[in-house]
Amino acid sequence: MLDLPQIDPVIIKVGPLAIRWYGLMYLLGFVGSFFYMQYLARLRKFALSSDDVSDLIFYGVFGVILGGRFGYCLFYNFKYYSRAPLEILYVWQGGMSFHGGLLGVCCAVVLFCYRRQKSILELGDLAAAAAPIGLGFGRIGNFINGELWGRVTDVPWGIVFPGAGPLPRHPSQLYEALLEGIVLFLLLWFAHKKSIWRGGVIFLFLTGYGLSRTVVELFRQPDEHLGFLWGNFTMGQLLSTPMIVIGLLGLFWTYRRSTHDAD
């Protein structure tokens, strides 16, 4: 059994201004995505300039924040926010959903491609490959904050999280950082390295994330106000299942499309 490392969530505070580790993780995710997408654009010889990448990141920031916030309010706490809709805007109180953020980024990429006359599949492939960077950093931020902890366990690496009771729990945030961050990043990088067909990385990401999240949810403590749904399923698993289905169907469709274009 281990105790959670005592890391102050606030890195530095000057007057009312506080810089937090979680916010820094978001920043590192966006900065890392910027440079990585530039590298992939050169690797795949996509017609995308440095300015295009920076503008796409700008669109993506709004997509993540707006989609993540509205997704959380809709998927995880609809009953509360339907009675207090103005509090949807209180982003400083916390509450973000990956699945909502994903929908927000998809809308942002489509809007960007429409305005710039770019290929949705090409830019989608770049954005999908960069997403694990932000996911990995984000989960590390969750771990530092001591939030979104796992279920009670007796494994040697179980951690006692402040606010989660005296029993050790799975560090599920680190499991997610490993699967959704490192493993998924390497898988999508390899797909780009092998010049997979256009659109393939998008749907490989959806499938890979959906499977990773479904597995990790077996070790993660469900949200207290939701608990288990439909038997032993969590909200994260229910939201990830359509991702797996869409991902597999999309892989089949884009592969067939690429072979047809080659003929």
In this prediction, residue 75 carries a pLDDT of 81
Whole-angstrom distance, CA of residue 195 vs CA of residue 218? 34
In this prediction, residue 231 carries a pLDDT of 75
The distance of Cα 176 from the centroid of its chain, to the nearest Å, equals 10
Q: What angle, 0 to 180 degrees and rounded to 10, lies between the N-to-C axes of helices 50-75 and 120-145?
A: 60
So where are the chain's domains? 2-262
3-state secondary structure 40-88: HHHHHCCCCCHHHHHHHHHHHHHHHHHHHHHHHHHHCCHHHHHHCHHHH
In this prediction, residue 88 carries a pLDDT of 81
In this prediction, residue 221 carries a pLDDT of 92
In this prediction, residue 82 carries a pLDDT of 83
Instruction: Output the tens digit of pLDDT for each of the chain's 263 residues.
Output: 666 667 777 777 777 777 777 788 888 999 999 999 999 999 988 888 889 999 999 999 999 888 888 888 888 888 888 888 887 877 666 677 888 889 999 999 999 999 999 999 999 999 999 999 999 999 998 898 888 899 999 999 999 998 888 999 999 999 999 999 999 999 999 999 998 999 999 999 999 999 999 999 999 998 777 778 877 889 889 989 999 999 999 999 999 888 866 54
Tell me the two tokens of residue 8. Answer: 């102050």
In this prediction, residue 174 carries a pLDDT of 95
Place of tokens 């939030």: 147
In this prediction, residue 77 carries a pLDDT of 81
